[in-house]
């Protein structure tokens, strides 16, 4: 499965690696492309954040192991599915988040970076996960290839913030 994911990543981002790999002096002969693929595969596999790539229509084309762990889905269940409908269908307040109002989907439409620490994704078992998100358009020249999304679980941070808020505004003796 990991080799398949690296191969799929190379098919989707291989052409985008050319300028970067030339900058680092890695020749993109067949062996160089394989080396670049292994390099990219190792980076994404070792990341401590989730990494997801979606095509211009919002279908998931790549997800790294940490993204799979955070969301509770194996890559095989995520690939080809609508990312918004699967993991970002509601807001943190529980209201529905329509496709047309999704700031992550808007990244592809407006070709602008989006960052937030107030999003929620949904785990396979249905529970909400507060996440920090950074999403950017994936461009090849002027052609939109999709969206690259990096996300991390903020559950502990949000719990600490709530605890600090409670301590700051409530007396231990009187509540």
DSSP string, 24-50: TT---SHHHHHHHHHHHHHHHHH-SSE
**Cα 139–Cα 119–Cα 80 angle in degrees, nearest 5:** 50
Q: Residues 92, 103: contact at Cβ < 8 Å? A: no
Residue 22: its pLDDT value, please?
56
Half-sphere exposure of residue 147: CA atoms within 13 angstroms, side-chain side: 29
Residue 9: its pLDDT value, please?
46
- pTM for the full predicted model: 0.76
Q: Residues 21, 32: contact at Cβ < 8 Å? A: yes
Give the residue, 170 or 98, on which the prediction is more confident: 98
pLDDT at position 83 over 80: yes
Please, what is the average pLDDT of the chain? Answer: 83
Q: Is the dihedral of CA 120, 122, 128, 129 positive or negative?
A: negative
Q: Using one digit for the tens of pLDDT, what is the confidence trace for 57-76?
A: 999 999 999 999 999 999 99
């Amino acid at each position: 499965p990991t080799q398949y994911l690296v191969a799929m990543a190379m098919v989707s981002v291989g052409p985008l690696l050319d300028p970067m790999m030339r900058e680092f002096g890695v020749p993109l002969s067949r062996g160089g492309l394989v080396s670049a693929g292994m390099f990219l595969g190792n980076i994404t596999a070792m990341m401590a954040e989730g990494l997801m790539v979606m095509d211009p229509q919002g279908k998931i084309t790549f997800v790294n192991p940490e993204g799979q762990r955070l969301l509770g889905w194996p890559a095989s269940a995520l690939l080809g599915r609508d990312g918004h409908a699967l993991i970002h269908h509601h807001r943190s307040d529980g209201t529905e988040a329509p496709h047309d109002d999704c700031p992550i989907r808007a990244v592809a439409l407006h070709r602008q970076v989006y960052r937030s620490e107030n999003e929620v994704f949904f785990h396979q078992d249905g529970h909400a996960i507060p996440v920090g998100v950074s999403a950017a358009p994936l461009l090849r020249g002027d052609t939109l290839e999709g969206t690259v999304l990096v996300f991390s679980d903020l559950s502990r941070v949000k719990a600490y913030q709530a605890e600090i808020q409670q301590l700051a505004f409530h007396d231990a003796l009187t509540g």
